Structure 1
Amino acid sequence: MSDSKKKSSFWSIVTIVAAILCTLIALPDSWKPFLPDFLRPSVHLGLDLAGGTQLDFRVSEDEIIARKAKLQEEIDNMKGGGQNKELLAKQFELQNINQQHENLVEAIRNVLERRINSLGVSEATITPSYFGNEKHLLVECPGVIDVNKCIATVGKTIQLEFKEEFSGATLEFENAMRTKANQVYTAVTSGTGNLQVYGEDLSSVLGVTYFDARPLFISSLPKGLESLATATAADPVRKIESTIQATGEDENGQQVLKEIKGIYLAKVLTNRAPAARPLTDPTEVYGELAKSLADAAVTNKDNILITAAPKELAPVLSTIEIGAQETVSLPNGIMGIVALRGRVDGTEQMTASHILIQYKGADRSDATVTRTKDQAQTLIQDIKQKLASGKDFAGLARTLSDGPSKGQAGSLGVIQRGQMVAPFEVAAFALAQGGISDIVETPFGFHIIRADKAPSTSGTKVSYALLQFKGDNDKAKELIAKVEKGEVSRMEDQIVIRGLFFSLEPTGWKDTTLNGRRFRSAAVSFDPVTNIPVVQIQFDDEGGKIFQQLTKRNIGKRIAIFVGGDLVSAPTVQNEIVGGNAVITGSRSIQEAQALAQDLNTGAIPAPIYLSGQSTIEATLGANALKQSITAAAVGLLILCFFLILIYRVLGVIASIALLFYVVLLVASTKLPIGLISGQYVVLTLAGIAGIILSMGMAVDANVLAFERIKEELKKGKMFKTAVETGFQKAWPSVRDGNTSTLITCVILFTVGTSIIRGFAVTLMIGIFISLFTAIIVTRWLCRKLAGSPIVERLEMFGVEKEESQRE
């Protein structure tokens, strides 16, 4: 077989397969319940066919215009004043807000689209519309019947908010996480799921932590995972209920180490094997070094007064930073290396008790607390009166106080200045011994505080490790360098595990005072080392101070960024950020970074939206309109086919077959994504159906022009095959020009028209391209196949009488 025949056969097979797939897709779903889902896509109906709600939101530009004018005025005032740094910052801010203004409508449209998706409306459309100088967004939500819910969700203010993480146990959350953990465990142990896939998918869910291929030494396995010491790579995934330690706050805002209950799903990836474990703890490091040094000894001290330390150490321990090492000279020719593991500077402290009355909604309030804030205030006032009348403080605390301290008669033990929230601290440290405070309100509720022991100043306490050996200062510095480089290690058994941890205590987000009003800009740049895209954010002076405090108290935790109530990012704080400039890493592509920057800038735009109109269409009306439209299209199609067959006989039959193929392709195109790879679909409206019917007529126009040229060539006595080629060549310029002018009209309608006109323009454009394919390519191919048939000798079958033919 020749190459040309092979190529022809290949494309014939491809065409047949494509035709079958398109036909299956175009068929109604009720005819093909046995087919897989990808062959049963549905048509996406617009508001006028599916029924639903249309909301018209006006975008107010007053604030953004005023902000631009104010910035321009400030810039003009700064010019010539020598404030170059501040001037550049203001110019950059103005440039950024100008860019935001240009993309205002599209940015707000993206936010509204996320809100609509949260309603479960996957086929909604948002169309920009302009009335004079006003910018509007028309939101169409097919199927939504709760208009108030739609307005409340979609139309709320788009605001940029920064929130910090907090947690508190609830039975509902615990049950939900247990269910999720059990579902994943069942899937991975039954072979229907993969722990790595589940881990990657769930890693962004609050309360779920995933780690992959983590090497762990047997001696340092996390609490609860000790049983993995005997596990092998052949063992299945294990489900272990345990705890992890995390830094949190108690009822009074004190930083404490908390045990978080949860469920581990863990799998050993490699069997137990010896490996060099780098030592980082000074106690272990110095113990290992002592084995190779002459007359070496290691001393560890925890939480002792610095005055109790050897006099040679005290000056060093009071000046070096925590975690640092320093050389010290000790008596009798002994050299030493000291590592400061911790230091608590002398602070004001006191012993206190309190009675806490919480209310529903207060921070850290127990789920059983149902009283209102007013009821809590009344109760605390009643307790205050009882104390004034001589009632026992401890007895009232045991019976009436809320919170963990209730069991200790309200005792908080020793508290230090700086540990408590500000209102509590001010009141407590102003008391004399035995004194009782007035009522104090904090985010946790209402307090009455008693000073069990008057405030006093404590001495500085330190924790350190000391390595003593015979040697000189150079040897000591050499050992310090070895420790800092991580060159001190010990052989221990190690395993590699993959794990997924489900916290049984919920992690949520707590509001802060940082929002879009303090936000200047977000821009995409590239990390100079890795060349990975990052998002740089900038705050104003006051926002920078708030952000510094926010990052300072959330090191190692996440800060959530919300735009319009939707979580767009939750980066982990690596360290305290000073100066009001920060970098958000983690974007996997430039597009992802640009989307995040746009979200942040959108939330900071002072451009609120207002509902200026609404309408609701009942689903029954839309169903009737759809039925009538389909009937009209079917009747029109039959009339067209009858006309073509009557006038052009066999050529009319060929045109009807091409027209049916056109209908199949058009219906399939309305069900498939635009371009086959995008996430956008054609939303079918009444106007869109009108465009489809019109494009059917235009498809016939192309056939009519070609067939008339073919008839002219047949009348000249030319062979059918030659007449077909000549006829299509002569008809093509007219067909091309006519459809091009219509396409230009469609582009204009789509650009300046409303949503209804746009729907008409889109379906008409799609119809034009498909009609050109079927009228020119498919029809010509069928005519060429017909050229080898004896029927071409009967010219009357093509609408040409014998007496009209010049054939000899």
Structure 2
Amino acid sequence: MESNRRMIWPALTGVVALVLLFIALPDGWKLWAPTFLRAPSFHFGLDLIGGTQLDFRISEQEMNDQVARLNAEIEQLQEQGAGSDKISILENQLYSTQQQQASVVESIRTVLERRINALGVSEAVITPSYIGDERHLLVECPGVVDTQECIATVGKTIQLEFKEEFTEPTEEFEKGVRDRVDTSLRRITVSGASLDLVGEDLGSTLGVFYADSQWFFKKDLPKGLEDMWSLPVGKVVKREGSITVPEQDEQGQVTDKEIPGIFLAEAISPRTQTGRVVIEAPTAFALLAKQQNLTYTPNVNTPLDAKIDPGIVGALQTMSPGDLKTISLGEGSAALLFLRQRTPGQEQMAASHILISFKGAAAMSESITRTKEEALALAQNIKQQLDEGADFATLAKQYSDDSSGKSGGDLGTFARGAMVAPFEQTAFALSQGDISEPIETQFGYHIIRADRAASLSFDVASYDDLRFSGSDAKIQADAAQAELQAGKVMEYEDAVPVRSIFFSLLPTGWKDTTLTGKHFRSAGVTLDPTTSMPTVQIAFDDEGAKLFQELTKNNVGKRIAIFVGGDLVSAPTVQQEIAGGTAIITGSANFEEAQRLAQDLNTGAIPAPIYLAGQHTIEATLGSEALRTSLKAALIGIFLLMIYMVVLYRFLGLLANVALSMYALLFTVILKLPLFLFSSQHIVLTLAGMAGIILSIGMAVDANVLIFERIKEELRKGKLVTTAVEVGFKRAWPSIRDGNASTLLTCAILFIIGTSIVRGFSVTLGMGVLMSMFTAITVTRWLIRKTAHLSFAKNTRLLIGVKTVPPPAL
């Protein structure tokens, strides 16, 4: 048992060493490995790989002007005795602007990172810089030598934009689609281009879908392509049609949405009889019923009432949509069920009401002029008449301000959640025939009559029922379920391969609005008083409030997209028209997410444009030459150092080389992995960093040299090898500690006060010092201790190159 425990740490160390060794291998040697082992790689700077460096100056004059303007507006409103709401909005914007001014560099840096990532440059480095009172951002894009593309993408002004969904087709949009179709068809019929060539050219275009080869059974051909069944092979045709795509609603239900469009299509080869796996349960049920003479019944929105077999009801109530289940239905009968959808029963009731509205109530008619007090008095009078036996329907037709008054106030049947809370609470508490006292809601005063008391409705389900009969009915049902789940239900018939390009006539995307960042005041994080979840509150100026109200009025139930610097940061759904110039954005999962959204919005409204102050391009050939030279110097340095250590310190020099190899391995792994494993950022290697690495290689054996010299001294005094090793380490430690501490202190000073180039040198040198201490003190010490107990260690000349002085005779 004890021996097993002793083996745990060596075994674990071996596994870790193998993983580290694998990570350190060149990328080309591990193409077959899992992603998490292939992903770590070196990240090179401009001077080693080439690329573009851009110097952007951040203009703060506009922000200073805005602060001065806001202060002037606040003073003017205070002098005029304006309301506190208007002053509060301006004060919030002033505070937000001042906060943005303090963090403007970091905010703009975040936007620039998004833009650079859009270029496909994931290793870019953005460094803040200060020239006098000016704030600059140095953007380094390794591998990007197209300077103009980099400037156009990264250097454009950061703007806050509000856009609305562009989903309704217009004549202009449809004409553009049809022109594109005709142009593509002319390329084929006139210029001789093939359909697949045109499809590949248009495949990435928004609203265009290219399918190189799809097999269709006759019944599955898309709408508009039915004649592909009989057309000659290779004939390209233009057809109006549509495709269906799955769409998920707000309740999470997935339905098929039909998208109209235009096809360019051709049959690739003649029809061929083929088989396909039937994975849709309803289709499989129908096919099995036909093949095995079974009974198949599809049920759509069927109430699970007393008419349905109790066994089926019980089974469906335990199933989730998409489940298959077999059940026995008495002797000689069984069923295989597939549940499409089930809606649990709800508490429902039927009621009528009389609504007495008043001026200022929600959804009131312009003809209503009565006050709230007059409305209450009238409602109480009507209730008194009802108590005295008046007919409810007659009074509803005479007095009710709701459209239901024409039908005697009848509201029909409704479930919980359909009415506003005060109405619902009162209505569902009534017994059949009861009439409530006047109840106030935002619409006015209601007098409610329960036409049918609240009761729980039956579940409603859509399901498929495949029946089996016979003494082995349950066995047959289980076999059919297993066959379907294993993908063994096959359908054989002719199919035709079709190549097609589909041009959608339904627009997708966003369109500009007149509401922009210049109308934006500020964004801040607040807590929802009901749910205590973080929300983002945004505010607009007077003109922006009007534009925002009009925008929300026209987009109720739709989304409004918010872009910052051309990037989509949020697309909330409009619940209702919003007036007053303030709005709440919900949906943030936590405070950090809400804070990030507010910061993005404020960043987009920052009146701090960026200007290109300078640019520098390094060709890739120069960078690769610098990298090759640096690696060559590092390898030569390591090789010469290893030879020196073996010549001078013999076997212990060889052990020092093992520790040096471990040092190189650890250094390679750390350079490939994210920074200290606590950040997604990597160490970017530059020429200065390579210089730090090369220097640290020379210093990596300093500690070993000190230790070995102390051991030599102890051996010359005639001490045993084991004793000399322990004393040598002990005596060498103060010198090692002080020397490395001074180097680390120097690295820290260089990092704090130096530029980015000097920082790269200090980081790699400091890491090298720390790792050399680890390998020298830990790895070398462990190796020497193990060696000291071996028999050949008595030969100190072979061990360390010194002849042991025999102890004096007594």
Question: Scaled by the length of structure 2, what TM-score is found?
Answer: 0.64
Structure 2 match to 1:494? 461
- Give runs of aligned pairs for residues 44-59 of structure 1, distance below 5 A: 44-59=43-58
Structure 1 match to 2:533? 532
Question: Shift of the alpha carbon at 1:804?
Answer: 5.3
Paired amino acid for 1:681: H
- Does structure 2 retain, via aligned residues, the 8 Å contact 1:337–1:476? no
Question: Shift of the alpha carbon at 1:629?
Answer: 1.0
- The CA distance in 2 between the partners of 1:42 and 1:153, in whole Å, is 27
Paired amino acid for 2:20: C
Structure 1 match to 2:479? none
Instruction: Report the CA distance shift for 1:670/1:222 in structure 2 as closer, same or farther (over 3 A).
Output: closer
- Does structure 1 retain, via aligned residues, the 8 Å contact 2:436–2:448? no
Structure 1 match to 2:620? 619
Instruction: Report the CA distance shift for 1:601/1:807 in structure 2 as closer, same or farther (over 3 A).
Output: farther
SS at 1:336's partner residue?
helix
- Does structure 2 retain, via aligned residues, the 8 Å contact 1:214–1:496? no
Question: Shift of the alpha carbon at 1:152?
Answer: 0.4
- The CA distance in 2 between the partners of 1:735 and 1:699, in whole Å, is 11
Structure 1 match to 2:11? 13
- Does structure 2 retain, via aligned residues, the 8 Å contact 1:279–1:486? no
Question: Shift of the alpha carbon at 1:612?
Answer: 0.9
Structure 2 match to 1:690? 691
- The CA distance in 2 between the partners of 1:109 and 1:632, in whole Å, is 36
Structure 2 match to 1:271? 339
Question: Shift of the alpha carbon at 1:720?
Answer: 2.5
- The CA distance in 1 between the partners of 2:730 and 2:453, in whole Å, is 80
Paired amino acid for 1:123: E
- The CA distance in 1 between the partners of 2:699 and 2:15, in whole Å, is 27
- Does structure 2 retain, via aligned residues, the 8 Å contact 1:273–1:494? yes
Question: Shift of the alpha carbon at 1:179?
Answer: 5.1
Instruction: Report the CA distance shift for 1:317/1:735 in structure 2 as closer, same or farther (over 3 A).
Output: same
- The CA distance in 2 between the partners of 1:36 and 1:115, in whole Å, is 30
SS at 1:802's partner residue?
coil
* Structure 2 portions without partners, runs of 5+: 182-201, 217-244, 260-278, 288-319, 324-337, 354-363, 371-378, 413-431, 440-445, 465-502
- Does structure 2 retain, via aligned residues, the 8 Å contact 1:232–1:268? no
Structure 1 match to 2:116? 116
1:280-307 deviation digits (Å, cap 9, x = unpaired): 9xxxx76xx69xxxxxxx9xxxxxxxxx
Which deviates further from its counterpart, 744-753 or 50-59?
744-753
Query: Do residues 474 (structure 1) and 474 (structure 2) align?
Result: no
1:696-736 deviation digits (Å, cap 9, x = unpaired): 22221222222223323333333333333333333333333
1:380-402 deviation digits (Å, cap 9, x = unpaired): xxxxxxxxxxxxxxxxxxxxxxx
Query: Do residues 101 (structure 1) and 101 (structure 2) align?
Result: yes
Question: Shift of the alpha carbon at 1:673?
Answer: 1.6
- Does structure 2 retain, via aligned residues, the 8 Å contact 1:160–1:562? yes
Question: Shift of the alpha carbon at 1:128?
Answer: 1.4
SS at 1:144's partner residue?
coil
Structure 1 match to 2:29? 31
- Give runs of aligned pairs for residues 409-808 of structure 1, distance below 5 A: 465-466=407-408, 474=435, 487=454, 490-491=457-458, 493-495=460-462, 505-676=506-677, 678-799=679-800, 801-802=802-803
Query: Do residues 147 (structure 1) and 108 (structure 2) align?
Result: no
Query: Do residues 138 (structure 1) and 138 (structure 2) align?
Result: yes
Question: Shift of the alpha carbon at 1:662?
Answer: 1.0
Question: Shift of the alpha carbon at 1:12?
Answer: 1.7
Instruction: Report the CA distance shift for 1:338/1:599 in structure 2 as closer, same or farther (over 3 A).
Output: farther
1:388-440 deviation digits (Å, cap 9, x = unpaired): xxxxxxxxxxxxxxxxxxxxxxxxxxxxxxxxxxxxxxxxxxxxxxxxxxxxx
- Does structure 1 retain, via aligned residues, the 8 Å contact 2:49–2:620? yes
Paired amino acid for 1:152: A
- Does structure 1 retain, via aligned residues, the 8 Å contact 2:89–2:539? no
- The CA distance in 2 between the partners of 1:46 and 1:785, in whole Å, is 42
Question: Shift of the alpha carbon at 1:806?
Answer: 5.5
- Does structure 2 retain, via aligned residues, the 8 Å contact 1:126–1:140? yes
Question: Scaled by the length of structure 1, what TM-score is found?
Answer: 0.64
From 238, 241, 248, the equivalent of 1:210 is 248
From 392, 404, 421, the equivalent of 1:335 is 392
Q: How much identity, in percent, do the aligned residues show? A: 50
- Does structure 2 retain, via aligned residues, the 8 Å contact 1:275–1:491? no
Instruction: Report the CA distance shift for 1:276/1:46 in structure 2 as closer, same or farther (over 3 A).
Output: closer
- The CA distance in 1 between the partners of 2:761 and 2:769, in whole Å, is 12
SS at 2:392's partner residue?
strand
SS at 1:11's partner residue?
helix
- The CA distance in 2 between the partners of 1:703 and 1:235, in whole Å, is 81
Instruction: Report the CA distance shift for 1:339/1:582 in structure 2 as closer, same or farther (over 3 A).
Output: farther
- Does structure 1 retain, via aligned residues, the 8 Å contact 2:393–2:409? yes
- Does structure 2 retain, via aligned residues, the 8 Å contact 1:268–1:495? no
- Does structure 1 retain, via aligned residues, the 8 Å contact 2:160–2:563? yes
1:37-84 deviation digits (Å, cap 9, x = unpaired): 332333222111211111111111111123233434555667788665
Question: Shift of the alpha carbon at 1:467?
Answer: 5.5
- The CA distance in 2 between the partners of 1:605 and 1:114, in whole Å, is 17
Question: Shift of the alpha carbon at 1:610?
Answer: 0.6
Structure 2 match to 1:161? 161
Question: Shift of the alpha carbon at 1:104?
Answer: 1.2
- The CA distance in 1 between the partners of 2:207 and 2:6, in whole Å, is 59
Equivalenced residue count is 596
- The CA distance in 2 between the partners of 1:762 and 1:235, in whole Å, is 70
* Structure 1 portions without partners, runs of 5+: 187-206, 237-265, 291-297, 299-314, 346-459
- The CA distance in 1 between the partners of 2:781 and 2:524, in whole Å, is 55
Structure 2 match to 1:43? 42
Structure 1 match to 2:223? none
- Does structure 2 retain, via aligned residues, the 8 Å contact 1:63–1:606? yes
- The CA distance in 2 between the partners of 1:485 and 1:504, in whole Å, is 48
- Does structure 1 retain, via aligned residues, the 8 Å contact 2:207–2:507? no
1:135-170 deviation digits (Å, cap 9, x = unpaired): 111111122132111100000001111111122364
Question: Shift of the alpha carbon at 1:599?
Answer: 1.0
- Does structure 2 retain, via aligned residues, the 8 Å contact 1:709–1:727? yes
Alpha carbon RMSD of aligned pairs, Å?
4.6
- The CA distance in 2 between the partners of 1:560 and 1:713, in whole Å, is 77
Instruction: Report the CA distance shift for 1:107/1:223 in structure 2 as closer, same or farther (over 3 A).
Output: closer
SS at 2:555's partner residue?
coil
- The CA distance in 1 between the partners of 2:697 and 2:808, in whole Å, is 35
- Give runs of aligned pairs for residues 357-368 of structure 1, distance below 5 A: none
- Does structure 1 retain, via aligned residues, the 8 Å contact 2:74–2:90? yes
Paired amino acid for 1:711: K
Instruction: Report the CA distance shift for 1:481/1:127 in structure 2 as closer, same or farther (over 3 A).
Output: farther
Paired amino acid for 2:632: T
- The CA distance in 1 between the partners of 2:283 and 2:798, in whole Å, is 82
Instruction: Report the CA distance shift for 1:503/1:578 in structure 2 as closer, same or farther (over 3 A).
Output: farther
Question: Shift of the alpha carbon at 1:807?
Answer: 7.2
Structure 2 match to 1:262? none
Query: Do residues 92 (structure 1) and 130 (structure 2) align?
Result: no
Paired amino acid for 1:15: T
- Does structure 2 retain, via aligned residues, the 8 Å contact 1:232–1:271? no
SS at 1:705's partner residue?
helix
- Does structure 2 retain, via aligned residues, the 8 Å contact 1:317–1:462? no
1:359-381 deviation digits (Å, cap 9, x = unpaired): xxxxxxxxxxxxxxxxxxxxxxx
